[in-house]
Amino acid sequence: MAEPGRVRVVVTAMGAVTPLGLDVASTWSAMRSGLSGVGPITLFDAAALPVRIAAEVRGFDATATLGAKVARRNSRNSQLAIVAAREAVADSGLDLASIGTEVGVCIGSGVGGLEVVEMATRTLDGYGARRVSPFAAATSLIDMAAASVAMDIGARGPNQAVVSACATGADAVGEAAEWIRRGDAVAVIAGGTEAAITATGITMFAAARALSTRNDDPEHASRPFDRDRDGFVSAEGCALLVLEEREHALARGAAIHGEVIGYAATSDAYHMTAPDPSGDGAIRCIRLALRRAGIEPGDVGYINAHGTGTGLNDAAETRAFKAVFGDGAYTTPISSTKSMTGHMLGAAGAIEAIACLLAMRDQFLPPTINLENPDPECDLDYVPLVGRAASPTVSMSTSFGFGGHNACLVLTTGQDT
């Protein structure tokens, strides 16, 4: 499917820390089983807030995993990124000591070290300026996750943080692939990380009326495409992919988990938080990604939808799928794994790309849990309630963000036929 002479970019490893598990294997196992990672908030006292549920990374001990010094000098979203990067690099077999100058890092986040800003503000208000941590300025920055990962693993190639709200993870993967295609790196650790479950983070999204308030039934709160959906569930976590120039990967005998054959990004230029109801930006984005991949809509065997569980997004996304795929929209299986992970914001697009790759590998589609009463406007095959066997060789992931950001990734198994 690749264009003649075009540099091919493959996925040679993955790493993840999510509300469903502390690595890729446990996260995927939970997805296959249709488990929910949503529960009562435990990271802070949320008793006085209108939203008291979230999808937290449970059992994560940064000090035990990274050591006290590294944990203290990194925000939670950077800590998650370092752990996921270590998993990915170990899985990849890359010798960073030899090729570190040719390995890049492209890790984005929606809000960065939000808990650091929150703590610094409280300290300033309560105890004065002299008590604010000298690490606060650096650790709160959105780019610091990428920088910290590079320092931890010794990657000295290009290093950037993509920021496009909830499209961040997908954009980071797509842009990293472009780095490789233009020769800036032979490999890139790419994806997104997020840790916005703080009093400020939850309160801000709740004030925007974006979050589910199903506080008494957290496991059923994330309900993409369901008639009774009432908002997304905020989640934290990190997902990273090791992208590599195909010939370089083959030369070193690396395992190939898939290939990035298409990527596109567009803007709605419509509203600060609401998607264009016509789906125009999403439609153009999907069509462009398919064109760059050199395939037709009918070649796509599985779609991992943005599927947030908000009234506006789910309906607009459904309209976009119908516009692009025509009658094929009704026969192409689609699922929203946010029904299980919650919305990992800047990390969402990356974990959903991983879900696409694993779905193709295992020939199994993860479900959209809690889809008990489909919205009449959302009448496509959203793989409701339980997963199913299937054998897609091409999959697609869509991601959309506040500000009108749209991103689309097209992936294949990476196996030539």
> 307-345, pLDDT tens digit by residue?
999 988 999 999 999 999 999 999 999 999 999 999 999
229 plus 304 within the same structural domain: no
Is the pLDDT at 1 greater than 50, yes or no? no
321 plus 359 within the same structural domain: yes
Which whole number is the average pLDDT over 75-100? Answer: 96
CATH number (domain holding residue 227):
3.40.47.10
Please identify which residue in the block is written with the tokens 């779905």: 359
375 plus 296 within the same structural domain: yes
323 plus 238 within the same structural domain: no
> Considering the domain boundaries, does residue 2 fall inside one?
no
Sign of the dihedral defined by the CA atoms of residues 381, 313, 146, 244, in that order: positive
Catalytic residue among 106, 238, 257, 343: 343
> Considering the domain boundaries, does residue 173 fall inside one?
yes
240 plus 302 within the same structural domain: no
Catalytic residue among 166, 356, 378, 408: 166
> 260-301, pLDDT tens digit by residue?
999 999 998 888 878 888 889 999 999 999 999 999 999 999
266 plus 184 within the same structural domain: no
> Considering the domain boundaries, does residue 200 fall inside one?
yes
> 358-406, pLDDT tens digit by residue?
999 999 999 999 999 999 999 999 999 999 999 999 999 999 998 889 9
> Considering the domain boundaries, does residue 1 fall inside one?
no
Domain span including residue 378: 260-412
294 plus 175 within the same structural domain: no
Domain edge (last residue) among 196, 227, 251:
251
> Considering the domain boundaries, does residue 4 fall inside one?
no
- Calculate the average pLDDT of the chain: 95
283 plus 237 within the same structural domain: no
Domain edge (last residue) among 217, 232, 251:
251
Catalytic residue among 248, 257, 306, 405: 306
Q: Is 23 exposed, middle or buried (0-12, 13-18, 19+ CB in 10 A)?
A: middle
- Residues composing the chain: 417
Which whole number is the average pLDDT over 229-240? Answer: 97
List all residues 6 or more positions away from 241 whose beta carbon is below 8 Å from its beta carbon: 11, 13, 14, 88, 173, 189, 190, 191, 350, 353, 354
CB atoms within 10 A of CB 314: 25
> Considering the domain boundaries, does residue 152 fall inside one?
yes
Cα–Cα distance for residue pair 326/362, rounded to 1 Å: 28
Q: Which of 223, 288, 289 is nearest to 262 (CA)?
A: 289
Is the pLDDT at 416 greater than 90, yes or no? no
Q: Which of 380, 378, 411 is nearest to 397 (CA)?
A: 411
Query: Longest C-alpha distance within the chain, in Å?
Result: 65
Q: Which of 385, 399, 376, 371 is nearest to 315 (CA)?
A: 376
Confidence of residue 5 (pLDDT cuts 50, 70, 90): low
119 plus 43 within the same structural domain: yes
DSSP character at residue 304: E
Q: Quote the tokens at residue 284.
A: 């153009």
Cα dist from 168 to 115, 178, 347, 378, whole Å: 19, 15, 7, 25
Is the pLDDT at 3 greater than 60, yes or no? no
Cα–Cα distance for residue pair 278/275, rounded to 1 Å: 8
307 plus 385 within the same structural domain: yes
In sequence order, the β-bridge partners of residue 263 are 409
272 plus 293 within the same structural domain: yes
> 169-218, pLDDT tens digit by residue?
999 999 999 999 999 999 999 999 999 999 999 999 999 999 999 999 99
Give the CA dihedral 91, 346, 156, 355, nearest 10 degrees. 20
Q: Given this model, what pLDDT does residue 300 score?
A: 98
Q: Given this model, what pLDDT does residue 227 score?
A: 97
> Considering the domain boundaries, does residue 335 fall inside one?
yes
Split into its structural domains, the chain has a count of 2
Global pTM? 0.96
Domain edge (last residue) among 196, 231, 251:
251
> Considering the domain boundaries, does residue 355 fall inside one?
yes
Is the pLDDT at 4 greater than 70, yes or no? no
Q: Given this model, what pLDDT does residue 414 score?
A: 79
| Helix or strand holding residue 136 (H, E) | helix 136-139
Q: Given this model, what pLDDT does residue 417 score?
A: 44
In sequence order, the β-bridge partners of residue 55 are 235
> 117-154, pLDDT tens digit by residue?
999 999 999 999 999 998 899 999 999 999 999 999 99
* Residue 343 among the catalytic residues: yes
240 plus 268 within the same structural domain: no
* Residue 306 among the catalytic residues: yes
Q: Given this model, what pLDDT does residue 274 score?
A: 81
